[in-house]
């Protein structure tokens, strides 16, 4: 007997979201940067931890692993190309993972750019999900700490190619700041104006804006829209790219601009 799985949002630090995928009995933690809120959520919901999934090596995504392993002896899945000592089961693109304890299979994508080895976990099927760490954010994307604009656009392209209804479980609540930038870049985008209204009202009510969907990101996230002529023209008018610059050059200029926005 297995039960359907759902996702619990576990806020941590200033603006991180840690995720617990569970079936009412067993749970796996995605990017547990801090153990305390995960242990509290497991306790509150009467759940037993059966695995840990990591997207990349940054401390706010892995910091809670040692303490969780003191409470639960579970496998730790993570990217084979990011050096993470705690990983027992290294993963890379093309791997399919039968999640221990749950009726859930996840597919792995390599999404380098934020870090060299960053991976994402995809659930295919009728209710698709993606856990994408710090690669794609609601309205934005991660900083290029270890990768190139080429790598990041290719990684974001893989995520953007998922079905429109795919729920995007990213790791931070950066949405309003991302959308403020997006509106500067693409002021005439009506979907973006509507999204600003919707997400602002969620935040006013203290609600998370995550998960979003791939369809919403495609329509409003400038980092998935560097092919859009209006964006290239605005950047050229600002002197940030040459006229008729390639989508890749536009992406690189957008990322650069956002770093100092
Ligand atoms: Zn990170
Ligand atoms: Fe992070």
Phi, psi values for residue 94, rounded to 5°: 95, -20
With residue 130 as reference, give the H or E element that holds it. strand 129-133
Range of the domain at 4: 1-91
The environment of the single-atom ion ligand 2, i.e. residues with CB closer than 5 A, is: 60, 134
**Position 137 in a domain:** no
Number of neighbours of residue 148 by Cβ within 10 angstroms: 13
**Position 19 in a domain:** yes
Domain count, the chain: 1
Task: Give the residue numbers annotated as catalytic, written as ranges.
Answer: 56, 58, 60-61, 114, 134, 172
Phi, psi values for residue 123, rounded to 5°: -100, 120
**Position 164 in a domain:** no
Burial annotation 233-250 (CB, 10 A radius, 16+ → b, else e): ebbbeeebbeeebeebbb
**Position 131 in a domain:** no
The environment of the single-atom ion ligand 1, i.e. residues with CB closer than 5 A, is: 58, 134
**Position 169 in a domain:** no
**Position 151 in a domain:** no
**Position 39 in a domain:** yes
**Position 1 in a domain:** yes
What CATH code is carried by the domain that includes residue 37?
Answer: 3.60.15.10
Q: What distance in angstroms lies between residue 134's CA and the mean position of ligand 1's atoms?
A: 5
Q: What is the DSSP string of 181-212?
A: HHHHH-TT-HHHHHHHHHHHHHHHTT----SE
pLDDT tens string, the chain, 261 residues long: the values are 568 999 999 999 999 999 999 999 999 999 999 999 999 999 999 999 999 999 999 999 999 999 999 999 999 999 999 999 999 999 999 999 999 999 999 999 999 999 999 999 999 999 999 999 999 999 999 999 999 999 999 999 999 999 999 999 999 999 999 999 999 999 999 999 999 999 999 999 999 999 999 999 999 999 999 999 999 999 999 999 999 999 999 999 999 999 999
């Amino acid at each position: 007997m297995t039960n359907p799985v759902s996702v619990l949002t576990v806020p941590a630090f200033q603006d991180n979201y840690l995720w617990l995928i569970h079936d009412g009995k067993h749970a796996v933690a995605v990017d547990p940067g801090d153990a305390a809120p995960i242990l509290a959520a497991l306790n509150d919901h009467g759940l037993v931890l059966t695995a840990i999934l990591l997207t990349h090596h940054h401390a706010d995504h892995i910091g809670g692993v040692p303490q969780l392993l003191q409470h639960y002896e579970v496998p730790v899945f993570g990217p084979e190309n990011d050096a993470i000592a705690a990983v027992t089961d290294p993963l890379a693109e093309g791997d399919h993972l039968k999640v221990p304890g749950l009726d859930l299979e996840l597919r792995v994508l390599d999404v380098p750019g934020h870090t060299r080895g960053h991976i994402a976990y995809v659930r295919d099927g009728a209710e698709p999900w993606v856990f994408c760490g710090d690669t794609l954010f609601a309205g934005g994307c991660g900083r290029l700490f270890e990768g190139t604009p080429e790598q990041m656009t290719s990684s974001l392209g893989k995520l953007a190619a998922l079905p429109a209804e795919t729920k995007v479980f990213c790791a931070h609540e950066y949405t309003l700041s991302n959308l403020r930038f997006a509106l500067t870049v693409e002021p005439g985008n009506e979907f973006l104006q509507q999204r600003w209204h919707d997400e602002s009202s969620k935040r006013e009510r203290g609600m998370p804006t995550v998960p979003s969907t791939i369809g919403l990101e495609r329509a409003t996230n400038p980092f998935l829209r560097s092919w859009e002529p209006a964006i290239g023209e605005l950047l050229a008018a600002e002197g940030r790219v040459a006229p008729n610059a390639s989508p890749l050059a536009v992406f690189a200029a957008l990322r650069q601009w956002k770093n100092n926005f």
